Copies of this chain bind each other. A is one copy, B any other.
Amino acid sequence: MSTADSDGAVLMPRIDQTGAAVGDSSLTDVAVRAGVSTATVSRALRGLPSVTEETRARIKAVADELGYVVSPSASRLATGRTHTVGVIVPSIDRWFSGQVIKGVEQVLRAAGYDLLFYNLGDDEGRARFFEAMPLRRRVDAVLVLSVPLQDPEVAKLRSLHLPIGLVGASADTFSSVRIDDLAGAATAVRHLIGLGHRDIALISGGTDVPPHFTTPTDRRRGYLDALAASGIGYDPALEAAGDFTITGGERAMSHLLGRPHHPTAVFALCDEMAFGAMRVLRTSGLRIPRDISVIGFDDHEMSDLLDLTTIRQPVVEQGATIARLLLDRLSAEAHTRPHQNEVSLPTQLVVRGSTAPRRARRA
C-alpha cells in the first residue's frame, strides 16, 4: 500500500500513454477536495450569487491549489455558447488588417472572448471559406474586416444566424463600423483646392466594384463633389485606376504623366497608392510639393516617414468599436433593449510636406 489513499492519484498530474500530462484536475476533483458537489463548485467559480462567501472562498482556495482551469469544451457543450468570435480578414499581412485586429483583440479579450482567426487569402481561399463555412458551431459571432462581400457571401453569413459585424462595409442587418469616406475625400480635395489647385488628378480603385464595399466609390464621389462645389469640371483624363496597391499607384501615376493634361496635384484614394505615385514622380524628376502636390487617404504608418499629407482614419478604434457592437448583441440584456447597429467614425486632415500652394505654370 502506498501512503496515498485510493484517491491520491487525483492530486497528481495524470499522465496518459503518450507521456503528455492530460487535462489537469476537473471540477469533480475540486468538489471532492472541498467536500461539496460539482454544482456548487461550478456556481462558486462562475461567481453566481447563490453561494455563501465562505464556501466560495474555500472552493477557490482548493481550485487554486489544484491549478484547476475550466474545460472550455465541456462548458461549451453544456451551454451551447463558445465565447469565441470568428474574425475574417482578406489578408492578414496588410497594415490595415493588423491595426483593426489589434482593436478587436483588445476589446474581445477583455470581455473573456477568444478570437478564431480566418485569413481568406486569394480568391480560391475565399471561395473555399464561403463554401465550407468553417465557423458553424465554433463561434458565437462573426467579424468581417473590410472584405468586399458579394451577395451570395452575405447570404451565407446570414444563414449562420449569428450576430455579424462588418468593418468598412455595410450590408443586411449586420452591425457595421466605418468612416465617412465621402466627407474625408471631399476634405482632401478641398485642401488642394484651397491651395489654389484646379488640375487635380485622381488615382482611384479598380474597375470591379462589389456592391457592399463602398469605400472606393464613396471616396471617388467625395472627389467629384468637392470639384463640383468649386465649379471645377471633372476631366476623365485626370483619373487613373491603381487598385489600392503601391504598384498600382505607380502604374496609375505613369499613365497620368503620359497624358497631355498635366495635374498640379494628385489625390490618391489610399496612402499606398500615393506612395507609388510619389516614387514615380520623383524618378520622373518632379519635386514634391514644389512641382506637384500629393495627398493620400488612411494615414498609413509609413505616411509620417514619407511626409505625406493625408486623411487620417481611426483604424484600431474601428476594430474596437465593431467588437463592442458585437458584444452588445451577445449580452443577455441586448435581447430586450435596442442596440446601435451602424457607427461612423470621423476622419481628420493631416497636413504634412507633400502638399503646397500651386505655383504659376511654367511655359
Check B137–A71 contact: CB distance below 8 A.
Answer: yes
> Once bound together, how far apart are the Cα atoms of A137 and B22, in whole Å?
9
Given contacts A20-B161, A24-B136, A137-B71, contact A117 B119 (CB under 8 A): no
Interface set, chain A 226-258, CB cutoff 8 A to B: 246
Check A77–B80 contact: CB distance below 8 A.
Answer: no
Q: What residues on B are CB-neighbors of A92 within 8 Å?
A: 98, 101-102, 105
Q: What residues on B are CB-neighbors of A316 within 8 Å?
A: 93
Check B98–A93 contact: CB distance below 8 A.
Answer: yes
Check A102–B98 contact: CB distance below 8 A.
Answer: no
Interface set, chain A 85-120, CB cutoff 8 A to B: 87, 91-95, 97-99, 101-102, 105-106, 109, 114-119
A-side interface size class: 35 or more
Q: What residues on B are CB-neighbors of A87 within 8 Å?
A: 117
| Best-buried of A73, A136, A137 by chain B (most CB within 10 Å) | A73
CB distance from A168 to the nearest CB of B (A): 17
**Chain B: CB-nearest residue to A94:** B98
> Once bound together, how far apart are the Cα atoms of A20 and B158, in whole Å?
11
CB distance from A120 to the nearest CB of B (A): 10
**Chain B: CB-nearest residue to A20:** B161
* A69 CB-CB contact with B under 8 Å: yes
* A121 CB-CB contact with B under 8 Å: yes
CB distance from A60 to the nearest CB of B (A): 15
* A162 CB-CB contact with B under 8 Å: yes
* A296 CB-CB contact with B under 8 Å: no
**Chain B: CB-nearest residue to A315:** B93
Given contacts A92-B101, A137-B23, contact A18 B335 (CB under 8 A): yes
Check B114–A116 contact: CB distance below 8 A.
Answer: yes
Interface set, chain A 276-316, CB cutoff 8 A to B: 276, 279, 302, 305, 316
Q: What residues on B are CB-neighbors of A97 within 8 Å?
A: 98
CB distance from A308 to the nearest CB of B (A): 12
Q: What residues on B are CB-neighbors of A114 within 8 Å?
A: 116, 138
* A72 CB-CB contact with B under 8 Å: yes
Contact of A77 among B70, B71, B138, B246 (CB under 8 A): B71
* A82 CB-CB contact with B under 8 Å: yes
* A76 CB-CB contact with B under 8 Å: yes
Q: Beta-carbon contacts of A9-53 to B below 8 Å, as 1s and 0s?
A: 000000000101111100000000000000000000000000000
**Chain B: CB-nearest residue to A335:** B18
Contact of A137 among B69, B121, B162, B275 (CB under 8 A): B69
Q: What residues on B are CB-neighbors of A105 within 8 Å?
A: 92, 117, 119
Check B99–A93 contact: CB distance below 8 A.
Answer: yes
Q: What residues on B are CB-neighbors of A119 within 8 Å?
A: 101-102, 105-106, 109
* A4 CB-CB contact with B under 8 Å: no
> Once bound together, how far apart are the Cα atoms of A102 and B121, in whole Å?
9
Check A22–B80 contact: CB distance below 8 A.
Answer: yes
CB distance from A289 to the nearest CB of B (A): 15
Identify the 9 closest CB pairs spanning chains A and B, nearest first: A73-B76, A93-B98, A21-B161, A73-B77, A115-B117, A105-B119, A69-B136, A117-B117, A93-B102
12 A-B residue pairs with Cβ-Cβ distance under 8 Å, sorted by A, are: A18-B335, A23-B137, A72-B73, A73-B137, A87-B117, A92-B101, A93-B102, A106-B121, A115-B116, A115-B117, A116-B116, A116-B117
Known: A92-B105, A109-B119, A115-B117. 5 other contacts (CB 8 A): A72-B137, A73-B74, A73-B137, A92-B98, A93-B102
